[in-house]
Chains A and B, each alone.
Chain A
Amino acid sequence: MPGHERDDQLFRMLCEFDEAAFEERAPSRVKARLYSAIIRDQQETGPLQSLSETHAAGHGLCIFESLVQIAPVGEKAKSPFFCWTCHARLLAENVENAPIFWAHCPYVSFQNR
């Protein structure tokens, strides 16, 4: 076997890292930042789906979102991404498995517990 082919074979073997060795969950703060980045991008092309529509589609809302959803305001007022002002987002983006526990908060669902 020519030298360069032998080399190619050797380096292929050396660089063939086991998939299993790298199968691990993404850090929760990475997931939180990912989510915020996508939402930010979604908002650049128009409003998010309103919380009433999200709720009607069968998704649970967190306590704060529920308060907005039942408020006597128009659908447009129920579209902003209220998590921007929530400390849960800040915690989740900066602290691994941040101590946030309330139901239906998207940032809780990213935790690796």
Chain B
Amino acid sequence: MGHSLQAVTDIRPDTTEDMRLVAEVLRKDRKATAEFVSRYSDCVYSYVRRRMIPRTEVAEDLIQEVFVAAWQSLKNYRGDASLRHWLLGIARHKVDDHYRKRLRTFDWQDSEDESIAEPSVTPTYEEQIDRALLQKKTRRVLATLPEAYCLVLLWRYQEDRSAREMAQLTGKTEKAIERLLARAREHFKRRWNHAGT
């Protein structure tokens, strides 16, 4: 243990403390486990909550899934990245899982409509210069969308997943994802234009 720890710290000295904590948690030291939760729950919570907009209440369940999964695979942590970074990687997978599961429950027949005429959307001058205002309105509009539309927009544009990746993860065709995205954009724009500032 000491030898391998030395090898790791030679490359990335900042993970020494992480490796110590991991070793203690793996020994099922309850106090080290409490330290693990105290030290990393805030950053994981913020990360997950931001990605669950506007349904942020889901974050509380997801963060628990992240930490239990982290504990179960903690023996695989090698200190190549910081523990924080490693945990956020698990969080990202859990967020993807959430999007995937929720989208699978969506009635895809509804999105089979043919041509979709998307209205245009142009943020007002005030919204363009006031980023907080723009984000507030975006969150408000997202909150009014059906869940599938909201999720598909966030997955595509916040998580930067391509339609192909989303198709692979949901077991749908790329075309179906693109149609769903087009419909989601259309709904978003219509609601945006009626939402005021």
B-binding residues in A (CB < 8 A): 7-8, 10-12, 14-19, 21-27, 30-31, 33-35, 37-39, 41-42, 46-49, 53-54, 57, 59-60, 81, 104, 106, 109-110
Q: Which chain A positions have C-beta within 8 A of B135? A: 17-18, 21
Question: CB distance A18 to B33 under 8 Å?
Answer: no
Do A15 and B138 touch (CB < 8 A)? yes
Q: How large is the interface on B (under 10, 10 to 19, 20 to 34, 35 or more residues)?
A: 35 or more
CB pair A30–B27 under 8 Å, yes or no, is: no
Residues of B within 8 A of A53 (CB): 27, 29
Chain B contacts for A39, CB-based, 8 A: 30, 33
Q: Can you identify 30 A-B contacts, CB atoms within 8 angstroms?
A: A7-B185, A10-B121, A11-B156, A11-B157, A17-B139, A18-B135, A22-B50, A24-B46, A25-B45, A26-B41, A26-B45, A30-B63, A31-B37, A33-B64, A35-B34, A37-B67, A38-B36, A39-B33, A42-B33, A42-B71, A47-B28, A48-B28, A48-B29, A49-B29, A49-B30, A54-B31, A59-B32, A106-B30, A110-B34, A110-B41
Interface centre among A26, A27, A33 (most CB of B within 10 A): A26
Q: A14-B157, A21-B132 are in contact. List 5 more A-B contacts (CB 8 A).
A: A7-B185, A24-B45, A26-B45, A33-B64, A57-B24
> Interface of chain B, helix or strand or loop or mixed?
helix
A61 to chain B, nearest CB (A): 8
Q: Report the bound CA distance from A4 to B157 in whole Å.
A: 13
A17 and B41 contact, CB distance less than 8 A: no
